[in-house]
Amino acid sequence: MLDQDHNHMKGILDQYEVVECLGKGCQGTSYKLRRRDNLEYFVLKMIECRSLDHGYLLFEEFIHIQKFIHPYVPRILEIHMSMNPKNSAIYVSVIRSYIDLPSLDFIIKDNIEKSRLEWSLIYRMFGSVLTVITSLKKANCGSIYFHPGNIFLSDKGFFMTDIWGPNLMNYARGVDIYVQSFEYIMNPDLSGELAIECHADELPRRRLPRYIEWCAPETSRFEFTDKSDVWTLGCVITILIYIKCLFKNKEILAVDQLKAKENVFHHLSSAEELETHKELFKLLSQMMKNNPSERISLNDLLDDLYVQVLMKHTNPEFIMRAKRCIVTAAEKPFPVNDTMEAKIKYLHDNWQHENCIEKAVVWFAENILNDKHINLTHRLSPHLFDLMYLHQANLSIITSSLRILAYSIEYEQLQSMSTCSRYPYEDVSNQSSSLLLLSSSSSYRLFKESNYFKNICKINNLYLVLVIMKKHLQYVNVQRLGLEFFKSLININYSTSINLDVIKDYLQTYNTIFKKLHTINLCHHLIELLNCTTNKEMIKIGISYLWKFCIYEPIALQAADKNTLSITTQLMESNQFDCEIFTNGSMVIVSLLRIRVNIYYVRNRGTHQLHISSDLGLSKFLPTNISLN
């Protein structure tokens, strides 16, 4: 049953049954849930917020973390924001899968003062936690808050849960509040003046971070960096090594002793242990420095050869890929000369075997472009997203899948146009623009209503393609094919003169797709490509596609906020003789003019003149005064 204070959540949990309360921790109250339809177990975590603004902040952070995909981290499935009507308390709640493994906190309490843990478990915990930390940092998921209570491991597996750390993230940043002066509030004569800001008091008045027992010493001084995560990991490993020597229920006391003196337990190790595990003890001595400036950084830790070897044995992608590559294509040959039914069946039957899938998908990609009679759109294309997710490290599977998807979408759109065309036998050039526009819009509306297109355009599918592009940022072909896939979603093939009505109808027709591309932040990735100054081909790809998506105003605003105009003009200036960069750069500028350029009209001799702000650096490429008809 829910606590009395949490009864307002009952409506949200209609499809779940509350099994039990798992307890109240530093990150809120947790409940074990059971889904009514399939009896699967889940965990509900409810976090009480200080205010509505604080709730919105957490809600946005959870949406970002929800996109994070890792085999060791149970994904957030649902996010809810609610208010208790009795006391107006604001809650942000998340639902994730239930982990049926013992927590590290339980393992410590069960073994403390009794027996040593297996070294294999300690090493596996070290490498697994480090794998999750680095993946979160790469995904830009902010600060990490981990401790024995949210680490689960056994011989069956390893998981880290609830690592978003909202309390730590908000409190460790400090609470520097500016307060308006009393005189400003009470004196109406000052209503038009700027508020007088009074700086917050010194440290004694600042709220200390909460629930930081396992955090680095500097956290209590309102400091938190990647090095703080390094200290916490070293601290947990140290406690596990000396668990037999600690007193029952005194593990936090042991952590405090480590904060006071980093090598306080070093003398408890035998000479044999120090020699056998000397590389680990050497790393711990660098990780446990209480002064952050003396402590090893996360990047330096990852560069250590010993750590790299350790992570190869704990990295889930490395382990699972090795298993997927056991079966070879020679052992299960692809039926090249068999029927199409046999080929598709082979693909479905061997989806876990990377070598077999590579052979099949490459064949389909090569032949679907040459043989127009191969129609795989409804039967194969949706399946390709699952294959790309599973085999992200295989470039052949990725590029071939993207090629098939882009082709299949264009093929389906052409089929829809053929169905909707009012003049299927007339030359396109003889049709009026309005009729072409009507036919094209109708064909797209017919196409987008199909289940095939709805499956393709699921936000998770689009985000997966973007994640893969980010993962293979250095590969030009992956970027080109990924952007070609996104472009195919907003592309109608018709030939007509471009005017405002055409553009307006185009944006209205593709509004849903543009919204999704804006949601997954495709614009940010394109700007990343523009910053690849060492790879000219990557710059060309980024700039040639950027303006095509900036026709949608929210994406253009997003690009403008990221200083895209300045980046583009610099690229054009340094590549003045590259026709492709210069032409596409001009298109980017045109698409962003209405967003960032300070336009004003000056009537002079009956002519409107357009003035461009000099701070944008456009004067090198555009005249300062442009006459408008």
For 98-108, what is each residue's pLDDT tens digit?
998 999 989 99
Given the candidates 3.40.190.10, 1.10.3720.10, 1.10.510.10, 3.40.50.620, the CATH classification of the domain at 102-314 is 1.10.510.10
CA neighbours closer than 13 Å in the CB half-sphere of residue 105: 11
From residue 532, alpha-carbon distances to 76, 357, 382, 527, 539 in Å are 33, 32, 32, 9, 6
Please tell me the predicted confidence (pLDDT) of residue 247: 84
Residue 626 near residue 607 (C-beta atoms within 8 A): no
Residues 183-219 pLDDT 10s:
333 344 544 454 444 454 444 455 555 567 888 888 8
The residue ranking higher by pLDDT, 132 or 504, is 132
pLDDT band at 54 (very low <50, low <70, confident <90, very high): confident
pLDDT at residue 176 is higher than 60:
no
Average pLDDT of span 438-467: 69
The residue ranking higher by pLDDT, 606 or 568, is 568
Tell whether the torsion through CA atoms of 144, 149, 154 and 157 is positive or negative.
negative
Please tell me the predicted confidence (pLDDT) of residue 448: 55
Average pLDDT of span 355-368: 90
pLDDT at residue 624 is higher than 80:
no
Residues 387-418 pLDDT 10s:
999 899 899 999 999 998 888 887 766 565 55
Residue 161 near residue 180 (C-beta atoms within 8 A): no
- Give the DSSP letter of residue 217: G
Token pair 């909707």 in the structure block, residue? 420
Please tell me the predicted confidence (pLDDT) of residue 419: 55
Please tell me the predicted confidence (pLDDT) of residue 399: 95
pLDDT at residue 425 is higher than 60:
no
Quickly name the fold that domain 1-98 has.
Answer: Phosphorylase Kinase; domain 1 (3.30.200)
Token readout for 554 is 């929210």
Please tell me the predicted confidence (pLDDT) of residue 300: 94
Please tell me the predicted confidence (pLDDT) of residue 618: 45
Least confident range from 218-227, 290-299, 338-347, 424-433: namely 424-433
Please tell me the predicted confidence (pLDDT) of residue 494: 46
Q: Domain coordinates of the chain in residue numbers?
A: 1-98, 102-314
pLDDT band at 57 (very low <50, low <70, confident <90, very high): confident
Distance from CA of residue 513 to its chain's centroid?
19
The model's pTM is 0.59
Please tell me the predicted confidence (pLDDT) of residue 282: 93
